[in-house]
Homo-oligomer: A and B are copies of this chain.
Amino acid sequence: MSDTPRQRGTLRDRTRRAMRDEVSAVATRLFAEQGCDNTTVEQIAAEAGLSRTTFFRYFGTKEDVVLTWLEDLGPGLAAAFAARPAGEHAWVSLRRAFDVLLEINADAPERALTFQRMLKGNPTMMARYRDKQQKWEDLLVAAWKQPRGAGDPVPRALVASAIACLNASFEAWEACDGTVAREELLDRAMNALAAVGTATET
């Protein structure tokens, strides 16, 4: 009658998570201090008190150390999307699902800005970031209400476009140094797409 699942998974899971968080914190600091390119895995490992080998057991790549949390957001995002009412248009459902993301760091815009700038400043990091979003995309497409055939481009088109709007809004947010709310910018972006039909059909 082991009550291991009493407190968020087994003890190993919890220590593992704690380890990850700590290494992430160390890496974030180092990246900020001296740039991502100038920071080696060796250095992160040394500073965090583990071996290079073990580092790669926790994180698949060097960049993952500050991006894994994004990947972890995927399931929650897909769940939020799936939980929207069946009759609602997918575009609206996607917009509402993104509320989950907008809550993150809502109270610490400075951190979000720093993160955003780190992404833009490093091509490799940016590429990994897009990898994570690709996984979001796959999850969201899989969570599509009435599944259509694989030959139908529409679900993927809508999901990927929504994510594109999300990124555009983030970029605009960073460009104006966070002076305009992210919700506002995302609404503007996604509404601009929604307005296409009404504009071209007249």
* Complex interface: chain B residues within 8 A of A91 (CB): 196, 200
Q: Say whether A171 faces chain B, with CB atoms less than 8 Å apart.
A: yes
Q: Check A165/B157 contact, CB under 8 A, given A92-B200, A197-B196, A201-B198.
A: yes
Q: Is residue A123 contacting chain B, with contact meaning CB distance below 8 A?
A: yes
Find out whether the CB atom of B172 lies under 8 angstroms from the CB atom of A151. Answer: yes
Chain B residue at smallest Cβ distance from A182: B153
Q: What separation, in Å, do the CA atoms of A102 and B157 have in the docked complex? A: 17
Q: How far is the CA of A185 from the CA of B156 in the complex (A)?
A: 12
Interface stretch (choices A17-25, A35-43, A104-112, A186-194): A186-194
Give the oligomeric copy count. Answer: 2
- Determine which of B128, B152, B160, B189 lies in contact with A153 in the assembled complex, contact meaning CB atoms within 8 Å: B189
A47 within 8 A of B: no
Contact (Cβ within 8 A) A150 B164 = no
Given contacts A197-B194, A197-B196, contact A153 B165 (CB under 8 A): yes
Cβ contact within 8 Å between A169 and B153: yes
- A196–B131 Cα distance when bound, in Å, is 27
